[in-house]
Structure 1
Amino acid sequence: MNEDQLLQRITVNPEIFGGKPIIRGRRLAVEHVLGMLATGDDFDTLLEGYPWLEQADILACLSYAHRLVEHERVEPLILGAAA
């Protein structure tokens, strides 16, 4: 499954979580999945906690996050020497 196909699993519904990105129209926000992964939960833990969740859904969340940051631009901050 390519990234575009994965991202089709991410939907937005103004009636659910105020329009935040969710997985396949369900009441599970992308940010929640990313937060669980960031704190050390693995795919198996997520899949056990949400029986309807599929591995491709987790990959879709990672792809979504990647798309958000892939074009980020970081400008260096140059501080002048102290007088």
Structure 2
Amino acid sequence: METTLLNRITNNPAILTGKPVIRGMRISVEQILKMLARGISHEDILEEFPLLEDDDIKACLVYAANMISHDVERA
């Protein structure tokens, strides 16, 4: 399941200078995580970005968790 979700996250130097984005769109993982941190609901995010799907938001969370996990392993 995680791998399937993570396939939604892409990096392309031509899109947002290579930041992780959702399915090649100009919507960054960082942007979605910041919205969630501000307490914006999944439903409101999906309303603001109609091309997003619920699994895209889940993918952002899995991506962030994996990044933190790798940081802890290296420490």
**So what's the TM-score if we normalise by structure 1?**
0.84
2:28 matched to which residue of 1?
Answer: 29
Q: Distance in 2 between matches of 1:70 and 1:41?
A: 25
| Number of residue pairs the alignment of both structures matches | 74
Q: Deviations over 1:17-60 (max 9, x none)?
A: 11000000000000000000001001001000000100000000
Q: Which runs of 4+ in 1 moved over 6 A?
A: none
1:46-57 equivalences under 5 Å are 46-57=45-56
Runs (5+) with no aligned partner, structure 2: none
Q: Distance in 2 between matches of 1:46 and 1:13?
A: 23
1:3-82 equivalences under 5 Å are 3-71=2-70, 72=72
How many Å apart are 1:70 and its aligned residue? 1.6
CA RMSD of aligned residues (A): 1.5
Q: Distance in 1 between matches of 2:37 and 2:58?
A: 14
Runs (5+) with no aligned partner, structure 1: 76-83
Relative to its length, the structure with more helix (as a share) is 2
Question: Percentage identity across aligned positions?
Answer: 49
